[in-house]
Amino acid sequence: MAFTVAVDGPAAAGKGTVARAVAEHFGLAHLDTGALYRAVGLKVLEGADPVDAARSLTPADLERSDLRTPEAADAASKVATIPEVRAALRDFQRAFARRAGGAVLDGRDIGTVICPDAEVKLFIIASDEVRAERRWKELRERGINVTLADVLAELRERDRRDTTRTDSPLRPAEDAIIIDTTHLTIDEAIARAVAEVEKRLPPEMRKQGKAQ
């Protein structure tokens, strides 16, 4: 049966970490929808037309080694403002969401646009400063030298683009459960998310993953 968990939130709030952990815990499929936009953005940086890039996306595009770079993130935020790009990727995401056995999708418009009927909607947030420090440390670990101030400025600009775009702006669904990870450890944030999903998991799916 289909069971969809939508996990939304701004960059570096922890939604990807939470989504992957929830998927593993309950034995659900996982899709990082941001990777779709990052892959499209990288193709655009290489000269491709944004809409053509979205329509011709392949599995290999989602395995690029530069998918997690700041350039990819910035490019993703820009192409995500293009309605035709979002439309081209929408059907793929919706089909994945309703696959048999259940799925967890993380992004910015999963609970509001892609899967408004998702059984569980989580919206992960954290303060700007905490998010910037997390992203800065992540980039440093990957050998990318950038200042904390620059990371904070980039995050705030990306937030501005994501929340003010005309098509599918970043915002929590009316029935979303807000989880603020500012003062939570990773394990605490995951535990809260798992508990919320557990409350809504159908009995017939409790044998999956670690939910039994």
209 inside domain:
no
Query: Residue 48, annotated ligand binder?
Result: no
100 inside domain:
yes
Instruction: Evaluate if residue 211 carries a pLDDT over 70.
Output: no
Query: Measured between alpha carbons, how far is 70 from 155 in angstroms, rounded to an integer?
Result: 10
DSSP for the chain, written as a single string: ---EEEEE-STTSSHHHHHHHHHHHHT-EEEEHHHHHHHHHHHHHTT--HHHHHHT--GGGGG-TTTTSHHHHHHHHHHTT-HHHHHHHHHHHHHHHT-TT-EEEEESSIIIII-TT-SEEEEEE--HHHHHHHHHHHHHHTT----HHHHHHHHHHHHHHHHH-SSS-S---TTPEEEE-TT--HHHHHHHHHHHHHHH--GGGTTSTT--
Query: Residue 12, annotated ligand binder?
Result: yes
124 inside domain:
yes
Query: Residue 103, annotated ligand binder?
Result: no
Query: Residue 102, annotated ligand binder?
Result: no
For residue 53, the domain's CATH number is: 3.40.50.300
Query: Residue 14, annotated ligand binder?
Result: yes
Instruction: Tell me the residue range of the domain where 120 lies.
Output: 4-201
Give the pLDDT confidence of 30-62 residue by residue, as tens digits: 999 999 999 999 999 999 999 999 999 988 898
Query: Residue 80, annotated ligand binder?
Result: no
102 inside domain:
yes
Query: Measured between alpha carbons, how far is 2 from 115 in angstroms, rounded to an integer?
Result: 12
210 inside domain:
no
pTM (predicted TM-score)? 0.88
**How many distinct structural domains can be found in the chain?**
1
Query: Residue 202, annotated ligand binder?
Result: no
Query: Residue 101, annotated ligand binder?
Result: no
47 inside domain:
yes
Query: Which pLDDT does position 182 carry in this prediction?
Result: 98
99 inside domain:
yes
Give the pLDDT confidence of 135-182 residue by residue, as tens digits: 999 999 989 899 999 999 999 999 999 999 998 999 999 999 999 999
207 inside domain:
no
Query: Residue 11, annotated ligand binder?
Result: yes
